[in-house]
């Protein structure tokens, strides 16, 4: 029986030490995790078997691959299936009752919450922080290994106001760099994306008006080329010379792409690393109410070693009104993913594990799902 919902019912802080100690999970789907695997050691399986369906954010795709591999191996008879498609598609499928949970890189809008009430009988959808990370400005530029950009310049590049790599604004941020007299090939997401939302939130905060559109999951910049998902954008940057795009750090690492450092007003430009993203999201606060754990992120930080283009991926679930056949497996899987072992396991994949202060809140919220 499909373990999915009935259509009718239905401040972050992290130390660099924790990141350095992150554990790696095997990616072999049929190999059971060993007894020393901290991420799998404490999995408490739930449900009576079947498929637990999820969809949405591609930003958390690599993390979900780690988690579902371990969970599926540990919990015989239950299979977690997670399809990407982007945050927008995930929220839509959730509100259509097609999946038990959805991944999204931006918090639910009031209209989304209202729509969820038709499938969360007696309840509504809530945001559960699950994956911390950053948006890397990935580029393919021969001879330039340490590109520096800032908010106004990056916004103008992605809005086609700056179209050549040797533009004066880029040169001023990169003295001594051999910037080519070549056209910039910029890539953005073609699908509705929380990654786009977080990048444009950064532009809105730091570009000084160069980015005129409000933050949005749909791309509002002028011109440029598009690709589907973080994997699609990364693939284009890897093969197209003189290009720039944006993707989560995990995709930059998997594809061996260079990431721009960001000039924020701090003592020196900030590198795109998990530790530097953790420094930014450390000051985040819970902005959601009534059990919703949506976070407020500081995209305009000027603190030293604080990377500004951060994101948090949420799992979306009904607080009440989940299908009875779904509930046990859903709670079991989400309890596992927010646990210490599972969070540490994704640290080596370019993510920022949740600290105990937020993880404890998420664990408590998952325990009350009904």
Question: Which region among 27-31, 58-62, 144-148, 337-341 has the lowest average model confidence (pLDDT)?
Answer: 27-31
Phi-psi region of 356 (alpha: psi -120 to 50; beta: other; left: phi over 0): alpha
CATH architecture of 135-280: 3-Layer(aba) Sandwich (3.40)
Q: Give 269: exposed, middle or buried? Use CB within 10 Å, 0-12, 13-18, 19+.
A: middle
Long-range contacts, stretch 269-272, CB < 8 angstroms, 24+ apart: 269/148, 270/304, 270/305, 270/306, 270/307, 270/308, 271/307, 272/134, 272/136, 272/137, 272/307, 272/309
Element (H, E) at 51: strand 50-56
Domain 2-132+289-294+313-367 and domain 135-280, same fold? Reply is yes
Phi then psi dihedrals of residue 356, to 5 deg? -60, -35
Q: Are 313 and 130 in contact (CB under 8 A)?
A: yes
Q: Are 74 and 43 in contact (CB under 8 A)?
A: yes
pLDDT tens-digit map of 49-72 = 889 999 999 889 999 999 999 999
pLDDT tens-digit map of 89-133 = 999 999 999 999 999 988 999 999 999 999 999 999 999 999 999
Q: Are 260 and 297 in contact (CB under 8 A)?
A: no
Q: Model pTM?
A: 0.77
Q: CA nearest 221: which of 246, 242, 241, 240?
A: 246
Report whether pLDDT(32) > 90.
no
Report whether pLDDT(136) > 90.
yes
**Residue range 2-132+289-294+313-367 in CATH 3.30.70.360:** no
The structural domains of the chain, with segments of one domain joined by +, span 2-132+289-294+313-367, 135-280
């Amino acid at each position: 029986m499909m373990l999915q919902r009935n259509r009718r019912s239905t401040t972050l802080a992290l130390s660099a030490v924790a990141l350095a100690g992150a554990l790696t999970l095997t990616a072999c789907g049929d190999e059971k995790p060993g007894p020393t695997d901290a991420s799998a050691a404490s999995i408490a399986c739930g449900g009576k078997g079947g498929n637990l369906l999820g969809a949405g954010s591609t930003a958390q795709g690599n993390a979900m691959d780690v988690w579902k591999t371990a969970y599926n191996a540990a919990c015989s008879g239950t299979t977690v299936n997670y399809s990407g498609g982007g945050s927008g598609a995930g929220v839509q499928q959730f509100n259509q009752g097609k999946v038990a949970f959805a991944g999204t890189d931006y918090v639910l809008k009031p209209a989304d919450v209202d729509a969820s009430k038709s499938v969360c009988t007696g309840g509504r959808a809530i945001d559960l922080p699950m994956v911390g990370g950053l948006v890397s400005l990935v580029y393919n530029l021969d001879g330039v290994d340490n590109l520096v950009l800032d908010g106004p310049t990056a916004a103008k590049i992605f809005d086609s106001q700056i179209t050549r790599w040797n533009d004066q604004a880029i040169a001023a941020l990169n003295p001594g760099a051999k910037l080519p007299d070549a056209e910039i090939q910029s890539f953005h997401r073609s699908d509705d994306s929380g990654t786009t939302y977080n990048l444009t939130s950064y532009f809105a905060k730091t570009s000084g008006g160069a980015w005129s559109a409000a933050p949005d999951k749909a791309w509002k910049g002028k011109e440029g080329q598009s690709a589907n998902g973080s994997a699609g954008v990364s693939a284009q940057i890897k093969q197209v010379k003189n290009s720039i795009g944006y993707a989560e750090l995990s995709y930059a690492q998997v594809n061996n792409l260079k990431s721009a450092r960001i000039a924020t007003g701090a003592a020196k430009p900030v590198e795109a690393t998990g530790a530097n993203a953790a420094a930014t999201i450390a000051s985040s606060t819970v902005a959601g109410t009534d059990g919703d754990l949506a976070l407020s992120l500081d995209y305009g930080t000027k603190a030293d070693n604080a990377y500004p283009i951060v994101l948090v991926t949420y799992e979306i679930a009904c607080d009440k009104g989940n299908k009875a056949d779904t509930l046990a497996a859903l709670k079991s899987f989400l309890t596992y993913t927010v646990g210490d072992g599972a969070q540490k396991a994704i640290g080596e994949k370019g993510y920022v594990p949740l600290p105990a202060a937020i993880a404890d809140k998420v664990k408590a919220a998952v325990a009350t799902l009904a």
